[in-house]
């Protein structure tokens, strides 16, 4: 094994495809987090979904048997984007937001004003009510000098009807209309991992990233200097690793496999 679990002192984990798939909770998830708590290993949960507020995830985690997760431990591409914007702009800065109500709440909590007039930045995430008028407003603002920031670059996301357009599809449209590339925050970009490491107070080399997507979780974790555990309960398979040429430090069938391996390390 190229992954020495005895050297890991913090965990960052994806959620969908690692903890659950849709409404189905995956095996031994609760046992895994009980182990982390017994061993005093801090953890954060990171998702590229910008549409939901962290408290939504806190509630779901409690419902599946993982209580007392603090909102700061939930890092969405929306909260990471808000953290980035706070390093660039002061309180009360107007931004034009394309996104879901959960993302709007995050931006308001970060003390930004949501309006098109005098907007310093256009922030775009997944938006189920995205339309031509929003695209037109965003295009004119970006062409007139507003910064262009995307919560994440995921072109699609799965739902019961199949793959649906994601935030990255909206970014691609606006990039085509403005000839400007956005600053993208979510996985696999470093900004997302930087926020997680800062909140955990740990070093990258002793932090484990757990994920099911090679091109976001594993690639981003490796590029940020983290150790990586690839679980086969979500999107990608071991064959995809060779196809994408993205190889994790170790592959596990799921969190239960990782748990038993760690307990015996």
Note if 240 is an active site residue: no
d(CA 234, CA 211): 8
Catalytic residue among 16, 154, 217, 249: 16
136: helix, strand or coil = helix
10: helix, strand or coil = strand
- Reported as half-sphere exposure (CB side, CA atoms, 13 A), residue 154 has a value of 27
Note if 14 is an active site residue: yes
Catalytic residue among 14, 154, 212, 217: 14
d(CA 209, CA 168): 23
Region of 201 on the Ramachandran plot (φ > 0 left; ψ -120 to 50 alpha; else beta)? left
User: 174: cis peptide before it, omega within 30°?
Assistant: no
**H-assigned helices in the chain:** 29-38, 54-63, 77-88, 101-109, 132-143, 167-178, 190-200, 219-223, 238-244, 255-263
The residues annotated as belonging to the active site are: 14, 16
């Amino acid at each position: 094994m190229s992954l020495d679990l005895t050297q890991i002192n913090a965990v960052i984990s994806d959620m969908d495809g690692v903890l659950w798939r849709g409404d189905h909770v995956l095996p031994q998830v609760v046992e895994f987090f009980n182990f982390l708590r017994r061993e005093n290993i801090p953890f954060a949960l990171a998702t590229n979904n910008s549409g939901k507020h962290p408290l939504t995830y806190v509630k779901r985690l409690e419902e599946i048997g993982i209580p007392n997760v603090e909102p700061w431990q939930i890092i969405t591409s929306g909260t990471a984007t808000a953290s980035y914007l706070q390093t660039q702009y002061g309180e009360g800065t107007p931004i034009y937001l394309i996104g879901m109500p959960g993302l709007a709440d995050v931006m308001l909590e970060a003390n930004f004003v949501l309006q098109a007039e005098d907007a310093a930045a256009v922030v775009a995430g997944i938006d189920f009510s995205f339309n031509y008028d929003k695209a037109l407003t965003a295009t004119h603002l970006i062409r007139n000098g507003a910064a262009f920031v995307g919560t994440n670059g995921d072109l699609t996301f799965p739902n019961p009807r199949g793959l649906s357009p994601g935030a990255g599809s909206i970014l691609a449209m606006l990039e085509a209309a403005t000839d400007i590339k956005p600053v993208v925050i979510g996985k696999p970009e470093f900004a997302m991992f930087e926020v997680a490491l800062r909140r955990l107070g740990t070093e990258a080399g002793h932090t484990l990233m757990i994920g099911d997507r090679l091109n976001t979780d594993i690639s981003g974790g490796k590029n940020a200097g983290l150790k990586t555990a690839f679980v086969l309960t979500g999107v990608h398979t071991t064959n995809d690793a060779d196809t994408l040429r993205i190889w994790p430090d170790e592959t596990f069938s799921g969190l239960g496999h990782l748990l038993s391996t760690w307990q015996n390390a």
